[in-house]
Amino acid sequence: MNDVANDHPLIARLNKVAGKIADICLMLACLVLLWLVALTCVDVVGRYFFRSPVTGATELVQISMAGTIFFSLPAMFLRDDQVVVDLFSFVRKGWFGWVVSVIFSLATVVAVFIVADRVFDYAVRAWEDGDKTIYLHIPRYLIVSLITAMVYMSAVFAGFRGLRLLLRPGQALPDETGSRTLGE
């Protein structure tokens, strides 16, 4: 985060810690993606040249794709990295833009907490039922619990970003390139 000089020292420190955690999550997402590429290559070579595909490759690919997506979420919510189609740029400028951003930030936090709560319920149900994947018999609650943790972390990071925005009335938060997100 480039422009944390205007933030309270505690907020700046928390932002730094959250940024490091988000970086670790992104590194894990990259490692899972690298694993996914290697798994796909080994599976294709084994399937077509040796007539011996990787057992449970479909399950491993599904789990890996979920890992890539959900390890990326905390950084996306902390840094506000989602895709924005800015058809009405005047809505994102000045005080009105700040109010709109605060409202959307609050709505985002609430929505992500609701999703995290539902995923947590699914993880508990999978644990209670002893649910396992079909071929490799991996306990499903392990996977869903990790997803739950990443979604909760995303909600916390979205809330932290909203708090930073709230503590800077009328001012935009900088994006990763250093430019203002609400206009000048």
Q: What is the pLDDT of residues 76-86, one digit of tens each?
A: 998 877 766 66
User: What's the CA angle centered on 74, arms 62 and 101, to 5 degrees?
Assistant: 125
The pLDDT assigned to 154 comes to: 95
Which residues are CB-contacts of 98 (< 8 A; sequence separation ≥ 6)? 165, 169, 170, 171, 172, 182
Q: What does the block give as tokens for 82? A: 């989602």
Q: What is the 3-state secondary structure (H, E, C) of 122-180?
A: HHHHHHHHCCECCCCCCEHHHHHHHHHHHHHHHHHHHHHHHHHHHCCCCCCCECCCCCE
**pLDDT averaged over the chain?**
87
Q: How confident is the model over 111-165, as pLDDT tens digits?
A: 999 999 999 999 999 999 999 999 999 999 999 999 999 999 999 999 999 998 8
What are the tens digits of pLDDT across the range 159-172? 999 998 888 887 76
DSSP 91: G
Q: What is the mean pLDDT of residues 62-83?
A: 90
Token pair 């011996």: residue: 52
The predicted model scores a pTM of: 0.84
